[in-house]
Amino acid sequence: MIKFIFFLGVAVCGVSMNAQAVEGPWISADQMQARLISSSSSIGDIDTVDTALEIRLSPGWHSYWRSPGDSGLPPRFNWDASENIEKAEVFFPAPKRFDELGLTTFGYDGDLMLPMEISLKEPNKGAKLNMRLDTMVCRDICIPQTLDLTMEIPAGDGAQSKNVRLIDFAKTKIPQEKDTSNLKIENITVGPDAIVVNAYSQRGFDNSDIFVEVGEYSLTSKPDFTVPTDDSRRSMIVVPVSDIIKEEYGSSDIPYAGIDITVTLTNGRDAVEQTMVIK
């Protein structure tokens, strides 16, 4: 009888835990799988809910960042078929740098999680997420991918699901808009031929990279990190501006006037991001 009660308790706990897991099915395409997961097991009196897009890429294959670089396509998200969804905001971790046949691209490999904030039309009402993901994966060749992903979050008390820790951890990988004690963008100087960033990193700059977006383009030339011999925690980083960007944005009386310039800096563990507009 004691054993029976023990195993019954385990079974009940297992059912309870499974009931708390709100996630969509894995959908497979060429060289990748993806699904949606939620940090809430139900929707209570809330306006937003944290979710994430979880992606698994086959070994040796990579996908693309919001700004892919010299080639590739950024991911696109369509939510038109969703129910009780006002809007969805997708957040990107700092990417990696890839060399594709002499071209520089920015993206991800392995397992990836993109946190998303879903704004609801009505609180206390269930939501159905229907997301069409258009993306591209590359190795020796590039393959466009379209995946239709779904997930339902019922109405309820708004309790957390067992995925909340996964999503909270994924959110720590998103570049911070404000400097941290470990990583800082101290200033950004925009010139006709280069973007110059002065930065501080408590960990030094051995594993650092920088990604600069100018309007619709990204700078793909290799950045030059100059670290003074008396302070390895500081660096002047010079990122050359390509001719195509000079022609597109640099020919006016005030080069790059009115253009968003976003700088994303990572030291291998932390990442920060700043956006400026030349006036």
In contact, 186 and 199? CB cutoff 8 Å: yes
- CATH code, 103: 2.60.40
Same domain, 152 and 240: no
CA distances from 134 to 32, 79, 152 (A): 12, 12, 21
| Domain termination residue (choose one: 118, 143, 171) | 171
Same domain, 88 and 197: no
Model pTM? 0.88
The confidence score (pLDDT) of residue 1 equals 44
Strand partners for 162: none
In a domain, 1, yes or no: no
- Tokens representing 206 are 């051995």
Same domain, 27 and 87: yes
Same domain, 153 and 235: no
Domain that holds residue 213: 183-277
Same domain, 167 and 225: no
Same domain, 36 and 86: yes
In a domain, 97, yes or no: yes
Same domain, 49 and 135: yes
DSSP labels, 98-162? EEETTEEEEEEESEEEEEEEEEESSTTS-EEEEEEEEEEEESSSEEEEEEEEEEEE-BSS-PBPT
- CATH code, 211: 2.60.40.10
Q: If the chain, 279 residues long, is cut into consecutive pieces of 10 residues, what is the mean pLDDT of each piece? A: 43 41 92 97 95 98 97 96 97 96 95 98 96 95 96 95 95 94 95 93 95 94 95 96 85 77 95 91
The confidence score (pLDDT) of residue 15 equals 35
| Domain termination residue (choose one: 111, 146, 171) | 171
**What total of structural domains would you count in the chain?**
2
| Domain termination residue (choose one: 171, 197, 225) | 171
